[in-house]
Amino acid sequence: MQTDKDSPEHWVDEHGSALYRYALIRLRDEHKAEELVQETFLAALQARERFAGGSSMRTWLIGILKHKILDQFRHEAREVVLDNPEPGGDDYDGLVEESFLADGHWSAMISDWGNPEEALEKGQFWAILQYCLDRLPKRLARLFMLRELLEEGTEDICKDLAITPTNVWTMLYRARLGLRQCLDKNWVGEARGS
């Protein structure tokens, strides 16, 4: 059912910040996030008759925004191929080598993070996860966001970014190694008081 609150003059007040946060955490760019929020509202205006009211207005708007973000990533991925990306290529390139000795053992001990349930209940964990996500190299971040925060499957990501599955897995592996290391340094280190 369409309530008065759902009418376009209330959209920005009701949903603006929620959409902005959704976009910002994925795009990591304030301007782009604002831009896509605006585009989402404009697209929603045109498609308004198609909002059946089966789901909430918020869910419907986020669905539109999600598509805008996917388009943005596809677009960027094509651009990056053209100007052949980040010279020096910081995709955490050296990270796998650094993490292991020549014989394949870990080069440093993996520390115990304790009870994971407790971790997720602490506000601090989320702040540091955000900090670490913000520090992912750009190409890795895009791929990682597609996979983990937009929940795309490998097949779709391969199509979106025009890379092979093996490539996707390698990059996700690096992103995870990097995030783990960052969390370990900033969160667990902190918790231990070191």
Partner 1 sequence: MKMLTCKDASRLVSEAQERRLGFRERWGLRLHLWICDNCRRFERQIRLLRRALRTLARRAETDTQGPDLSPAAQDRIRKAVAERDGHSH
Query: Does residue 92 bind partner 1 (CB under 8 A)?
Result: no
Q: Which is nearer to partner 1, 2 or 111 (CB)?
A: 111
Backbone angles phi, psi at 106, to 5 degrees: -60, 140
Q: Does 116 bind partner 1 (CB under 8 A)?
A: yes
Stretch that binds partner 1, among 71-79, 82-90, 99-107, 134-142 (CB under 8 A): 99-107
Q: How far is the CB of 8 from partner 1 (least distance, A)?
A: 5
Give the separation between CA 11 and CA 3, rounded to whole angstroms. 12
Please name which of 129, 99, 98, 102 lies closest in space to residue 113, comparing C-alpha atoms: 129
Residue 29: both structure tokens together: 């760019």
Count of residues binding partner 1 (CB under 8 A)?
59
Query: Cβ 138 to partner 1, closest distance in Å?
Result: 18
Of 8, 53, 89, 189, which lies in the binding site for partner 1, with binding defined by CB under 8 A?
8
Q: Which residues pair with 100 in a beta bridge?
A: 106
Residues forming the site for partner 1 (CB under 8 A): 8-9, 11-13, 16-22, 24-25, 34, 37-38, 41-42, 45-46, 56, 58-59, 62, 96, 99-100, 103-106, 109-113, 116, 119-120, 125-126, 129, 148-151, 154, 165, 168-169, 172-173, 176-177, 179-180, 183-184
